[in-house]
Chains A and B, each alone.
Chain A
Amino acid sequence: MSEQENQFYNVYEVFSKKTDKAPFQHQFSLLAPNADMALVMAKENFFRRETVADIWVVKRENIRGLTQGEREMLKRMDKNYRETKGYGYLKKKWRDYNQEQFTEKHIMGGREESR
């Protein structure tokens, strides 16, 4: 019986987005036999109070995550050539030309504000 009942349990991971604009976020997990049941359970188990715009359920087995060894290898060396902090000297350079360095906002399209 124990074996039989263990088999009832698939673990489903539950994701949701709070509003139309928000990205999906992991919430929690639950036990259910299949995706339809998992979805119906997810709604009341995790969104009784908060607003929710969409819900996903994913069978945990179908998620390939990193192993601990792989996660440890994420702690990589500095690569300042692909981050803004590697370009701090530009501000002074532009000053020499009597120009302000563009802020992130300018670069993302706030051009009309630039002089």
Chain B
Amino acid sequence: MQAGLRFEQLTNDEKHQHFMQRINRGEKIEADDWMPDDYRISLIRLISMHGISEIMGALPEKEWVPKAPSLHRKLAIMAKVQDEMGHGQLLLRVAEDLMAPLGKSREDIMQDLFSGKLKFHNVFHMEAPTWGDAGMIAWLVDGAAIISQSMMLDSSYGPYARALKRICAEEVFHAQHGESIILALAEGTPEQRELLQDSLNRWWTSLIMFFGPKSAKETGNSNADRNIMYKIRTKTNEELRQEFFTKYIPRIWALGLTIPDETIHFDGEAQMWIYKDVDWREFKQIVSGNGPRSQERLDLRRRSYDNNGWVREALAAQKAI
């Protein structure tokens, strides 16, 4: 910063320069720090999408909460779905503080979700028709989430990094909860193994899609580059997907399961996994609210939100001054 000048006296260009110096030095930006508009907008987009995905992500697993097949499983899956809601709470709080200067709040996030303006992760638009899916979601969907979240643990935005730290600590429990379910099925009866294989078949494409397209050309827009420049994230979509393959494919095979992609293999020369790419137009359709369960889940969320409007109003009347 220019010597002798108070921060408030700097021009916008000088503030921007100062901001980039801080980013490049690895300093953390806080909610009430000056930040360029596109940094704020990128963060709001990323974090509100992440947060609302946690909230919507509770719904497919929630379908299995009352049905979980033992007292222990009932408790564990309840705790797991509760954590997802808790992660949503942390992330939405971070997004809300970023939105506050724009005059927006949690109410706007909910309304944006209902109007389709705010999208959520492709995986949570999908069906989860069997108990095998409860295991698959916790094992591989959460496994994928851990990879993309832990990449951002050192994000330049301090509040996001702190929320992710709390979240990742709990993801370890989720991963083990998922492993415990799928191992019990893998070691169970032929019917139970079939449940597991069916579920893998059902989720594979969604898992590939989870990390997003390789580059901007598949969907026509990608915010990944800007986010890397601002050190919000450090890796590309494809790097994350490859990490996921390396981490999980050997385990999937070790359990004797078949990946529904006969072309998939590790290319030793290129040092990367070769796999059948997915139809990214379908991905776009799904996240735009046209997935197999998109509308049902949105209806469920909207209905419970509207039904309980009177509760929020009643509490508003008890607001401390």
Partner-B contacts on A (CB < 8 A) = 1-2, 4-11, 28-31, 33-35, 37, 45, 48-49, 59, 65, 67-69, 72-73
Contact = CB atoms under 8 A, between A and B. Distances in A.
Contact of B315 (A8, A11, A30): A8
B107 to A, nearest CB: 5
A69 B86 contact: no
Contact of A4 (B34, B108, B313): B313
B132 to A, nearest CB: 27
Contact of A28 (B8, B166, B313): B166
B93 A69 contact: no
B106 interface: yes
A6 B320 contact: no
Contact of B89 (A8, A11, A30): A30
A68 B313 contact: no
Contacts, number: 73
Contacts of A73: 6
A18 to B, nearest CB: 14
Interface residues of B, number: 33
A-B pairs, top 8 by smallest CB distance, nearest first, are A69-B7, A34-B320, A8-B316, A33-B315, A5-B107, A33-B319, A69-B8, A6-B105
B312 interface: yes
Interface in B235-252: none
Nearest to A29: B93
A81 to B, nearest CB: 24
21 contacts: A5-B312, A7-B316, A8-B312, A9-B105, A11-B97, A28-B93, A29-B93, A30-B89, A30-B93, A33-B316, A33-B318, A34-B319, A37-B315, A45-B86, A48-B82, A49-B170, A65-B32, A67-B32, A68-B33, A69-B6, A72-B1
Nearest to B173: A49
Contact of A10 (B6, B32, B319): B319
Given A6-B105, A28-B93, A68 B34 contact: yes
Interface of B: 1, 6-8, 32-34, 79, 82-83, 86, 89-90, 93, 96-97, 105-108, 111, 162-163, 166, 170, 309, 312-313, 315-316, 318-320
A35 B312 contact: no
B48 to A, nearest CB: 15
A8 B312 CA distance: 7
A48 B32 CA distance: 29
Contacts of A8: 312-313, 315-316, 319
A47 to B, nearest CB: 11
A62 to B, nearest CB: 10
Nearest to B83: A48
Contacts of B1: 72
Contacts of A48: 79, 82-83, 86
B107 A6 contact: yes
A72 B33 CA distance: 11
Contacts of B97: 11, 29
Contact of B90 (A6, A9, A28, A69): A28
Contacts of A35: 320
A8 B319 CA distance: 7
A31 B86 contact: no
Contacts of B320: 10, 33-35, 59
Contact of A31 (B79, B93, B313): B93
Contacts of A68: 7, 32-34
Nearest to A69: B7
Nearest to A7: B316
A66 B90 CA distance: 24
Nearest to B104: A6
A28 B107 CA distance: 20
A45 to B, nearest CB: 6
B47 to A, nearest CB: 14
